[in-house]
Amino acid sequence: MNKLNDFLETLAKPFSWLTDWILRLVLGIGFFLYGYGKLPLPPKKMVTWFESEGIPAPELVTSMVSIGEMAAGIGIILGGFLSGVLGNVITRLSGGAVVVIMIGAFYIAHADWFITEKLFKEVQIFLFALGAYYAIKGNN
């Protein structure tokens, strides 16, 4: 078992610097694209659905969601390029924004998923988990 572990370590070690970037890019690009897909603002279909759910100020809320998703996606990526406190703060705030947006998505659009098999088969739980990871970890 040790030989296998040593062999796998030898294979993986040159790529260890990529691990953070794999997660960062998947979350950042994915979240940006979710927001970008809601353009132009306000996103008409989403506004109509929010109105049907009785959510106040649906044009404002849906526009804020779209802008928040794009900003958080950019922030997750940008935070990785910036060293020191600034990069750490941008990463943490962006991760926190992802968490808040995903909690809103769960509450508004997917309330029937709690805690079910469906929750763990959809991308939303992974977006939430990665957002929480960066909100907690920052660039450390």
User: Is 66:41 a contact under the CB 8 Å cutoff?
Assistant: yes
* Tens-level pLDDT at each residue, the chain (140 residues): 999 999 999 999 999 999 999 999 999 999 999 999 999 999 999 999 999 989 999 999 999 999 999 999 999 999 999 989 999 999 999 999 999 999 999 888 887 877 888 888 888 999 999 999 999 999 99
pLDDT score of 108 = 86
CA-nearest of 133, 135, 68 to 96 is 135
CA-nearest of 25, 26, 105, 29 to 61 is 105
Domain ranges of the chain: 19-137
Q: What is the pTM of this model?
A: 0.90
Q: How far is CA 18 from CA 14, 70, 78, 111, 136, in A?
A: 9, 23, 16, 35, 19
